[in-house]
Each structure stands twice: as C-alpha cells, then as structure tokens.
Amino acid sequence: MKKTALIAFIFYSIFYNAQSITDYQNKESPKVMKEGQDTMSQIKKYSFKESKEVLLLAEYMPEPSGGMSALYSYIKSNIKYPVEVTEQGISGKSFISITVETDGSLSDIYVARSLAGCIPCDEESIRLIKTFPAGWVAGKQNGEYVRVKYVIPITFTRG
C-alpha cells in the first residue's frame, strides 16, 4: 500500500511540474519599450500642493536660516539652565519635534523624547526653538515646498 501511494505521489509531482513549465512557456513575453519612448510621461507626478501630508524625509530638508550652526550658536548663547540641571547634576538631551510648514513657519512643536523626566529642561528646549529669530527655510520635494517633520536635539550638561 505504501509503494502505491509513493508511486502515485511521484507521478502527480512530475505531472504538476510539467504542467507548470508548459504554462510558463505559453505566457507572453513582457512588453519591451520602444526606443525613444518617454517613460516619465506615463508616470503621474504626485502633487503636494493640495496635500496636508507631513513628510519625514524630503529631497531638500528644511533648515534654519543661516544653517544648523546658526541655530546651535543661538541655543548656546541663549540657553537658561534650569535649577534642576545645576543642583542635581542632570545632563543629557531633550529631543524637540517640529513641523516646518511650506512658508518656513513652525507648527506642532512638542517634546519627542524627554530628558530623564526633567520638565523644566523640556520647557526650556521648546522656548529656545520657538524664539529662534532667524526663521526656517522650508523643505522641497519634486520642486514644491512641502511640510516636513524635523527633530532637534538640545543638550544639557552639568553646570
């Protein structure tokens, strides 16, 4: 009985594989593009103008006017260390999430990752980002200004 089942299985496997090979051979070959045919005209570009979508990555990421060095220079000269940082010796980074709008303004500012529960540090970080005077240059995707989410780390060290 076992030999018959084994033989039936072998014949079934051979027939099934032969059938799938025949099916594969009978399929049409893929269409080949003709020389000079424009592929980009066939692809509809996505427009961000009507979209309220916030990107995490863009071709040209937003940046502070004057560059990141100007932002960190402003933070370094204007940071007011909370009492908790100096008294308790707290050090680390507070990560602030912002959305840079198409006109360079900021919205949706919040603490993405807190510095060990140091609420005054988070509040100071948000204050620094909101009061940065130089403004922001908006991000670009496909030649259009887009909304982009951006995270800025602000470091607090022992005083």
pLDDT score, position 17? 53
- Catalogue the E-assigned strands of the chain: 54-55, 63-64, 92-100, 106-113, 136-137, 139-141, 144-156
Percent of all residues in the chain with a pLDDT value above 90, rounded to a whole number: 50
Residue 101 lies in a domain: yes
42 has a pLDDT exceeding 50: no
Which range marks the domain in which residue 93 is found?
40-156
Structural domain tally of the chain? 1
pLDDT score, position 115? 85
Residue 8 lies in a domain: no
Residue 31 lies in a domain: no
* Structure-model confidence comparison of residues 70 and 134, the more confident one: 70
Is residue 78 a contact partner of residue 109, using CB atoms and an 8 Å limit? no
Which residues partner with 107 through β-bridges?
99
Q: For residue 33, how many other CB atoms are within 10 A of its CB?
A: 9
pLDDT score, position 7? 60
The pTM for the full model equals 0.66
pLDDT score, position 132? 92
For residue 13, name the pLDDT band (cuts at 50, 70, 90).
Answer: low
Residue 34 lies in a domain: no
Residue 26 lies in a domain: no
What's the distance, CA 81 to chain centroid?
31
Which token pair is 73?
A: 């220079």
Q: In this predicted model, what pLDDT tens digit does every residue of 65-99 receive, in sequence order?
A: 999 999 999 999 999 988 877 788 888 899 999 99
Is residue 75 a contact partner of residue 113, using CB atoms and an 8 Å limit? no
- CATH assignment of the domain containing 99: 3.30.1150
Residue 83 lies in a domain: yes
Residue 23 lies in a domain: no
Q: In this predicted model, what pLDDT tens digit does every residue of 105-119 receive, in sequence order?
A: 999 999 999 988 788
Residue 135 lies in a domain: yes
